[in-house]
């Protein structure tokens, strides 16, 4: 029986709502569940909003606003060199597996594929194999928890992003430069909305290949946003069948 469910997919694919559905389904079946969404700042397996300062991990949500800017160069994501960041992230996973409640099913999103790919591929411009090697290292660590990955595949990436962006004023203006000005974006000359979409499409292709080569259970839901009811019924049936 799995103790760890990880929902993955591109931005706007529905990761948070799918993770919430997985958590509720598990609860209805009598499981004790801990669901941690992205962006909480206090993730048991991820340093999503932390800095490394003088050898100490500092949660940035505890730093006074007037001091935050001077801490950003030490942010584990976005600030540190990969040689420093990677061991920290793997150690965080090891700590989580050691300390996880054996009677609890944990539901996460983004932490196995999206976050590592954003760093290795988008930020540092690493090859697919370099990204895969880091992800394999995570999978080896979490293997005792019999993890399951639920991946949301989006067919029309540009259309879906455009649709959701209308509901998130200012969001595109923030995410486009991160992708187009990072290592991978620069390598393909990405620019503007079209460049952002090209980055996402290639990330999705790489994630699909990497996931297919991993020794773990995985479920793929294609274009779930087109019919959430059907997608959730499908997922619930697969979970009942042992996922």
CATH code of the domain made up of 4-33+99-240: 3.40.50
Average pLDDT over residues 119-141: 98
User: How would residue 144 be classed by pLDDT, with cut points 50, 70 and 90?
Assistant: very high
184 token code pair: 């991978």
- E strands in 42-98: 50-53, 56-59
So what's the pLDDT on residue 240?
82
CB 172 within 8 Å of CB 165: yes
User: How would residue 227 be classed by pLDDT, with cut points 50, 70 and 90?
Assistant: very high
User: How would residue 37 be classed by pLDDT, with cut points 50, 70 and 90?
Assistant: confident
So what's the pLDDT on residue 41?
67
147 token code pair: 């993890």
Mean model confidence pLDDT for the chain? 95
């Amino acid at each position: 029986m799995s103790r760890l469910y990880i929902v993955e997919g591109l931005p706007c694919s529905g990761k948070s709502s799918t993770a919430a559905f997985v958590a509720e389904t598990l609860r209805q079946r009598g499981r004790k569940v801990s669901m941690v969404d992205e962006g909480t700042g206090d993730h048991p397996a991820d340093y999503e909003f932390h800095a490394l300062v003088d050898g100490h991990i500092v949660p940035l949500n505890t730093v006074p606003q007037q001091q935050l800017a001077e801490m950003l160069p030490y942010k584990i994501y976005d600030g540190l060199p990969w040689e420093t960041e990677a061991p920290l992230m793997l150690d965080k996973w090891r700590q989580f597996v050691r300390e996880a409640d054996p009677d609890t099913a944990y539901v996460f999103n983004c932490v196995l594929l999206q976050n590592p790919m954003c760093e290795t591929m988008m930020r540092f411009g690493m090859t697919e194999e370099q990204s895969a090697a880091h992800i394999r290292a995570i999978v080896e660590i979490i293997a005792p928890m019999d993890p399951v990955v639920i991946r949301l595949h989006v067919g029309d990436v540009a259309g879906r992003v455009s649709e959701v962006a209308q509901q998130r004023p200012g969001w595109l203006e923030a995410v486009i430069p991160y992708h187009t000005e990072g290592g991978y974006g620069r390598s393909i000359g990405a620019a503007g909305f079209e460049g952002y979409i090209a980055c996402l499409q290639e990330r999705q292709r790489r994630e699909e290949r990497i996931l297919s080569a991993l020794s773990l259970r995985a479920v793929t839901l294609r274009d779930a946003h087109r019919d959430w009811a059907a997608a959730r019924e499908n997922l619930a049936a697969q979970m009942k069948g042992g996922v």
